[in-house]
Structure 1
Amino acid sequence: MREEHNDSKHRGLIVGIGASAGGLEAFKAFFENLPPDSGMGFVLVQHLSPDHKSMLTEILARESPIPVVEALDGMRVEPNCVHVIPPDATLTIKDGHLVVVQPAPPREDRRPIDTFFVSLAKDQSDNAVSIVLSGVGSDGSVGLVAVKENGGLTIAQAEFDHHAMAGMPQSAAATGLVDYVLQVEDMPAKLIEYRDHLALVADRKDGDGTRKDAAEHLGTVIAILRSKTGHDFSKYKSKTVTRRIQRRMQVLQADTVPSYVKHLRDDPAEPEMLFRDLLIGVTEFFRDTDAFQGLSAAIDGILERSDRPQSLRVWVAACSTGEEAYSLAITIREILDTRNANLEVQIFATDIDDRAIEFARAGRYQRVTGISPDRLKRWFYEEDGAFCPNRQIRGMCVFSVHNVTKDPPFSRLDLISCRNLMIYMDNDLQDRILRTFHYALNSDGLLFLGLSEGVSRHSNLFAVWDKAAHIFQRSDGDAAFPALPMPPQTPAANR
């Protein structure tokens, strides 16, 4: 999860629409059903040949009820206007203005829809909408996750039977993070409803865009969620949890918090939907390259010790969909190969999200940003358009569902990686997790944290190993191991 931010300068929804093959007909159907005064700005990102002039702008302009223009660098996204990506270009958005960079990357590295959606999420937060229309492949799926993580709305195109179309829409829906799967003709009406709901509740938000009434009912919602799913979010930062509750209310167009609370109690599917929203996180291979370089040096230091280990035991807590664990496996394997060392390596990768663990076990990645071509060739193989870690890397990793806040930890560990989890938790829960990690590590074991995380409140338990990489070494300070399971932190909800 990540904190979302609202910006008062936003003037209306900005809708990013991505498509490849077959996209023209979908675009036409969308705009044929759009009123001319929606107040939204639209940005179309289609896979275009870099070698030919595109006629997309001219074709749509003849049929669209609103102006259609080709995107230019520095152009502001205007309401009631369609902005179309030019050929051979990378398109992003910053401060509501389009950024056009030419030429585009080589075809094998080109994912223009993901690139625009990710920038849209960062720039517009809950003012963003991403729509994935027909096309081959999986472009758009990663960017769609970023939009949802930042509080925006996500939509994918449906077949006639309201199942996602094969290709890009199906790949998007497979993330489990698409809010609506709709036939393209029905999308404009849904956007109007969503726009009207946001306008209705706008005066209930504070200056940061958080609904004040949602915060008032936070304890009740958390208690219901715990009773329905068994997971307790009471020690997570209240603003983050409130914004995720607010996002579910926006998707459902629930005008009042009591009406959402009733829906949460009565609809068997809603607790699971809210739970999934609370777990949204963006990850990638070798995230924070400099930090991984520091980690490589730290692992090399472990192997350099006079009492060299016969095995290496690693725990990747909050591993999400597995990129972090596989990155660690590749890092360790490369070090061992350089040293010509034969060492048993066990990487225990865990997460509270069972779907993420299933994905990690399958190890099939449509997008592998962060991996150099040499590493991709050496450690992955391609199968049906997906990149899969080879047997040597996959065999080092064991994935399992585990809640680091309440389940017993692993033990006798040389390294723990837990990055960008504690930033969502209050001080009490952070303290609990750090004491758990101290217990689980060997006497000189290492702890690898995210760049916004630290151990300043537990300097008696951990010493700085590499400040820039946020790597800490276990000290021999006395720490009482927290009781298991953790007692409930929320009042009982009325049912």
Structure 2
Amino acid sequence: MPRKSATTLTEAAISRFPKAQPGGRVEKPDALAPGLVLRIGEGGAKSSDGAPAPGENSHDALRIAALQQELRAKEEYLQTANEELETSNEELRSSNEEMQSVNEELQSTNEELETSKEELQSVNEELSTVNAELQAKVADLSQANNDMNNLLAGSGIGTVFVDHELRTLRFTPAATRIINLIPSDIGRPVSHIVSNLKNYGELTEDVKTVLETLVSKEIEVCTESGAWYSMRILPYRTLGNVIEGAVITFVDISDRKRVEKALQEARDKLTGALAAMLHEPLLILDESLRVVSANSAFYAAFRAAPEDVLGLCVYEADNCQWEIPALRTLLEDVLHKKAVFSDFEISHVFREGGRRTLRINARRIGAEAGQPDLVLLAIEDVTERALPDRRQDHAERTPSNRSERDVMK
């Protein structure tokens, strides 16, 4: 089939309207598309006057009608396409506006992100500076903590830190010899932990008292093994003077106690030896005026036994024979006013020996550190020497009395 005829058939199939192809050579096709009918006719020759042949007018009319129909279809197609194009343009414009709005929002967001980025960079720089400072402080704190741990461990002082609830916060190795502490006891109340202290169970009460009064307390305590410690309880103060608990320290004073005991024993021996060497009665009293010691001259002079004297108040000794008002006044002055009196004579009737005149000397003597002062009371029996004086006084008073009676007569 010629190319022109094939084109005509294709146009007829697409537009579904009749198509005409005047003139030309036509060959019968092998097959037609479904719905197509091929009509082949022979065109007549023109008349001599040039008028179209009778069959030619109908062919042109059909062609014109087909062309008009095709034109209308194309116009409708174009109109539909234009409408669709306008709709697409409107949608594109709307999408463009939305995209512009989104773009503006993205630009605004980008600006905000840039601002946030700058702020984050500034914050990051500040955090880096703070982090460096914190690292330096942590290093200083770690160094101070190490120094404190080494200091406490090297000093050998047992130390226990507790909070307001008396819960254990920290302790040194030396403290484990006094209180049975192990690392798992951190956070446990002190009252739940067994101590090795002998005859002392008031640790919890004493710590509470210190926290309430904010006044430190010092006590000498002894362990079951015989070791002596000076226990101090004091408030735990921060640099801002805030009380955050209490500190309990134990300083080993076992050596000092042994030395004090040895000195006291030597002193007692020396005092006893000196008192035994003296021929006049001698009493040693404590601050409560209880008899600590008496020499053999005292027991011999007043015929007393040690069990009737030692440990008793001097006024109660030897069946209260020394309840002498003048002596009480003198001893009170020695205790409270730290006075010293010498050659003070008193006359008193004793159960053994009757009335006696005694010359008394008393003074307060200082004891060793941590020990109460003592009162040394020396007694001299001057009854024999005082008797002639009393007789002479009596003789001198007698004549005068007689003269007075004579005058009255």
TM-score of Structure 1 vs Structure 2, range by shorter chain: under 0.3
- TM-score, normalised to structure 1, is 0.17
> Higher RCO, 1 or 2 (CA under 8 Å, sep at least 6)?
1
Larger C-alpha radius of gyration, 1 or 2?
2
- TM-score, normalised to structure 2, is 0.19
